[in-house]
Structure 1
């Protein structure tokens, strides 16, 4: 039997919440792990997004958890480009159905932060959740998180 359970740890990046403004990102500490996948779940848009009223998901990295810089396309798996400021996903058109996206981090920094950056007017919030899956840990099996 294959055992993924003993080889991963989950970290809540954005708790399942309806947001109408920027979240306050907390650091994802990658120490002790060799891989990280960011899973982003977005519900039906609270508004009809456009290029003014939008949400951009920005991923930044740091060696010291103090000075953060935008990730580069060479740091991320699953995207063909990264926008200014580390934009890995943009909501700029109607979000009529819930979606799940995943982004692999292959950069060499210890810390990551994910910001849901809201621009324009958001009179109604949008359901968002993000989880980091930390894998290939140095201390397997990983602790249960049930």
Structure 2
């Protein structure tokens, strides 16, 4: 009754690393799941590294087909800039099959960061 792990799938979209440029993740396929959330985890910022996070969606995996997710399709909001040593979580309630994260470098040098997409409410459980 309390087992959450069998009802979610976690996909690492940004491996924890020091980011020195804009990072666009690979597409995550939401087929077979009825909910999703993005978790961004940050560490140190060097030389005022200023990164803006966003989520994009598409019906295909073609890079040019992705568009920014409308605020109405997010539960919660991303900050205008990531802060050091923080964790952010935002839910996705859109209808597209694929999502991806974009961490845009606006100024400064770098940030240590990683991101995970958590897919939930599977059509078939338990998830392996």
TM-score by length of 1: 0.80
Say if 2:43 is the partner of 1:58.
no
User: In structure 1, what is the Cα distance between the partners aligned to 2:19 and 2:114?
Assistant: 10
Whether 2:123 is the aligned partner of 1:133: answer no
Q: How far is the alpha carbon of 1:113 from its aligned partner?
A: 1.1
Corresponding position: 1:32 with 2:32? yes
CA distance in 1, matches of 2:32, 2:117: 14
Do 1:28 and 1:112's aligned partners in 2 also have CA atoms closer than 8 Å? Answer: yes
Which has the larger share of strand?
Answer: 2
| Stretch deviating more after TM superposition (62-71 or 99-108) | 62-71
Hey, what does 1:98 align to over in structure 2?
Answer: 85
User: What is the alpha-carbon distance in structure 2 between the residues aligned to residue 40 and residue 6 of structure 1?
Assistant: 22
**1:58, 1:102 → 2: CA distance?**
11
* Structure 2: segments with no counterpart, 5+ residues: none
User: The residue matched to 1:2 in structure 2 has which SS?
Assistant: coil
RMSD: 1.5
Report how far residue 64 of structure 1 moved.
Answer: 1.5
Count matched residues: 126
Q: The residue matched to 1:90 in structure 2 has which SS?
A: coil
The DSSP-based 3-state class of the residue aligned with 1:35 is: strand
Tell me the TM-score normalized by structure 2.
0.90
Shift of 1:89: 3.0
1 CA distance for matches of 2:104 and 2:92? Answer: 20
Give, in whole Å, the separation in 1 of the partners of 2:124 and 2:72. Answer: 28
Segments of 4+ moved more than 4 angstroms: none
State how far apart, in whole Å, the 2-side matches of 1:39 and 1:121 are. Answer: 23
